A and B are shown apart, each in its own frame.
Chain A
């Protein structure tokens, strides 16, 4: 098989966009885990809801991309707030098993309610950019992919500033590092947990909205995502946000390359084979826990 350099570059760029979107999911998952010590198994469904929010917002907004994106993000933050206040706020700190059942159950309920309301028929999303894009030589990338990648990268920049330089974000890292010390300085764990869930939901909303013009939107689109995101969080070094981002981009690239060179059917299976192999070789992940640690 000869590898066409242009084709490879195209796949690589697509992989980076996909990876950045995975990273949004993984980082949110990591954030919630750090602050609440639970895995939110309904996290992929927040992405799906974000994609649906985008499909509904776009026609209302006259197909304008940015206002629709903002609406989708805000809508999913609101969903996150409701999920926190109604379900997660009732969890006590040592109820990990209950948290699995609650969030897993929630994920299944959301999927089926969405299917009941909007059917399982895949939806295509049209934006003001349509399928326009930029061409460099024989490479073509659609604007929606470029914007998705840029918006994700900008979100990480914003997240870095918030976690590093605001008391709001620092409190999240603080709780993750030492719960008792957080109480010592007067942090209110439930307020910070709520903030973390809403922030993570916003990242999911962004990811879903950004992915909707790139992939088909269905109630099932988030289903396997949680397992990938969970694996990324562990491979990235539990709670290590830059680690999760690097792992996520690597995953996006691997998926894109495998999907591009082999039958698409291998894509999902190969990704999990690689992730299981890494976890056998490096049980604590590829990167140390450090720097921007929230776990």
Chain B
């Protein structure tokens, strides 16, 4: 089976500074992959590199057989790469309705209404908060809204940066369930999560990043029970760098 996304020796960062270095990985279509790593390991940088919102130094990003690393973000979105950045990434002074309209930005006008109907069918909460400004929604509602804004274009690959950050345990569970449902629809998901345990439980595979490089990869279950990972990310004490 062909991978939905293949990263070949990706080096990326900001300004003149590479953060992610020679990172290679393959994501199978319809799978959920968790990206694990300490603070500053380069997890968000890698997601941004895949969507094209930071500086790409070298390597290749192959999505559905096409190299996309030189394309601007809107072209990647058109090809089916969706990215939900970390924390409150919406238009706070616009209503939920307007935010969803903006989510349709790259779609032809004729399909806006049907796309919004489809997404609000999955997230009925959005209809209830239709006229409320996004900035006045709770953190969890904003997270759902942001995912919905990207799902409007039916991406084939969804990049999620800390979707459960700052949410109540109950809301975190809801977000994880939502992610599972999205993947069940055939969408490949790459997620960065501070709730490593929760993310690993819904994931097929895990990638572990240390100082910008791939440190370990494998089935989520295996990574979850690996003593080094347990020690470092799953309630262990002092983070022992093994890179």
Using CB atoms and an 8 Å cutoff, list the residues of chain A in contact with chain B.
167, 170-171, 173-174, 177-178, 180-188, 289-291, 293
For residue A288, give the distance in angstroms from its CB to the closest CB of chain B. Answer: 11
The docked-state distance in angstroms from the alpha carbon of A240 to that of B141 is 26
- Take A170-B98, A170-B101, A180-B53 as given contacts and tell me if A188 and B72 are in contact as well, using a CB distance cutoff of 8 Å: yes
Question: Which residues does chain B contribute within 8 Å of A293, judged by CB atoms?
Answer: 93
Question: Which residues does chain B contribute within 8 Å of A170, judged by CB atoms?
Answer: 94, 98, 101-102
B194 at the interface (CB under 8 A from A): no
Question: Which residues does chain A contribute within 8 Å of B89, judged by CB atoms?
Answer: 178, 180-181, 184
Contact across chains for A177 and B91 when beta carbons are under 8 A apart: yes
The stretch from B21-29, B77-85, B184-192, B196-204 touching chain A is: B77-85
Closest to A294 in B: B93
For residue B221, give the distance in angstroms from its CB to the closest CB of chain A. Answer: 32
The docked-state distance in angstroms from the alpha carbon of A184 to that of B109 is 18
Choose among B74, B78, B85 the residue with the greatest number of A CB atoms under 10 Å from its CB: B74
B90 at the interface (CB under 8 A from A): yes
Instruction: List 5 A-B pairs, minimum CB-CB distance, nearest first.
Output: A186-B106, A186-B74, A186-B77, A177-B91, A181-B89
A-B contact pairs, 5 of them (CB 8 A): A177-B91, A177-B93, A180-B53, A181-B90, A293-B93
Contact across chains for A187 and B105 when beta carbons are under 8 A apart: yes
Question: Which residues does chain A contribute within 8 Å of B84, judged by CB atoms?
Answer: 184
Question: Which residues does chain B contribute within 8 Å of A186, judged by CB atoms?
Answer: 73-74, 77-78, 105-106, 153
The docked-state distance in angstroms from the alpha carbon of A217 to that of B85 is 51
Question: Which residues does chain B contribute within 8 Å of A185, judged by CB atoms?
Answer: 77, 102-103, 105-106, 149-150
For residue B141, give the distance in angstroms from its CB to the closest CB of chain A. Answer: 15
For residue B121, give the distance in angstroms from its CB to the closest CB of chain A. Answer: 20
Interface size class of B (residues with CB under 8 A): 20 to 34
Question: Which residues does chain A contribute within 8 Å of B149, judged by CB atoms?
Answer: 181, 184-185
- Take A167-B105, A170-B102 as given contacts and tell me if A177 and B74 are in contact as well, using a CB distance cutoff of 8 Å: no
Contact across chains for A173 and B72 when beta carbons are under 8 A apart: no
Contact across chains for A174 and B73 when beta carbons are under 8 A apart: no
Interface string of B101-124 (1 = CB under 8 A from A): 111111001000000000000000
Question: Which residues does chain A contribute within 8 Å of B93, judged by CB atoms?
Answer: 173, 177, 289-291, 293
Contact across chains for A184 and B83 when beta carbons are under 8 A apart: yes
The docked-state distance in angstroms from the alpha carbon of A66 to that of B59 is 58
For residue B192, give the distance in angstroms from its CB to the closest CB of chain A. Answer: 15
Question: Which residues does chain B contribute within 8 Å of A181, judged by CB atoms?
Answer: 85, 89-91, 102, 146, 149
The docked-state distance in angstroms from the alpha carbon of A167 to that of B102 is 7
For residue B77, give the distance in angstroms from its CB to the closest CB of chain A. Answer: 4
B18 at the interface (CB under 8 A from A): no
B92 at the interface (CB under 8 A from A): yes
Contact across chains for B105 and A171 when beta carbons are under 8 A apart: yes
Question: Which residues does chain A contribute within 8 Å of B105, judged by CB atoms?
Answer: 167, 171, 185-187
For residue B108, give the distance in angstroms from its CB to the closest CB of chain A. Answer: 11
Closest to B82 in A: A184
Question: Which residues does chain A contribute within 8 Å of B104, judged by CB atoms?
Answer: 167
Contact across chains for A171 and B73 when beta carbons are under 8 A apart: no
The docked-state distance in angstroms from the alpha carbon of A185 to that of B82 is 8
For residue A139, give the distance in angstroms from its CB to the closest CB of chain B. Answer: 41
Contact across chains for A174 and B91 when beta carbons are under 8 A apart: yes
For residue B207, give the distance in angstroms from its CB to the closest CB of chain A. Answer: 22
Closest to B72 in A: A188
Question: Which residues does chain A contribute within 8 Å of B146, judged by CB atoms?
Answer: 181, 184
Question: Which residues does chain A contribute within 8 Å of B92, judged by CB atoms?
Answer: 177-178
For residue A158, give the distance in angstroms from its CB to the closest CB of chain B. Answer: 19
Choose among A174, A178, A185, A188 the residue with the greatest number of B CB atoms under 10 Å from its CB: A185
Contact across chains for B73 and A177 when beta carbons are under 8 A apart: no
The docked-state distance in angstroms from the alpha carbon of A217 to that of B149 is 50
The docked-state distance in angstroms from the alpha carbon of A184 to that of B102 is 10
The docked-state distance in angstroms from the alpha carbon of A290 to that of B133 is 10
B133-150 with Cβ < 8 A to chain A: 146, 149-150
Contact across chains for A183 and B53 when beta carbons are under 8 A apart: yes
Question: Which residues does chain B contribute within 8 Å of A182, judged by CB atoms?
Answer: 102
The docked-state distance in angstroms from the alpha carbon of A293 to that of B101 is 17
Closest to B88 in A: A178
Choose among A180, A182, A188, A293 the residue with the greatest number of B CB atoms under 10 Å from its CB: A180
Q: Of A174, A188, A290, A291, which is within 8 A of B102 by CB?
A: A174
Question: Which residues does chain A contribute within 8 Å of B83, judged by CB atoms?
Answer: 184
Q: Of B51, B91, B150, which is within 8 A of A178 by CB?
A: B91
Contact across chains for B150 and A184 when beta carbons are under 8 A apart: yes
- Take A170-B102, A174-B94 as given contacts and tell me if A188 and B74 are in contact as well, using a CB distance cutoff of 8 Å: yes
Closest to B92 in A: A177
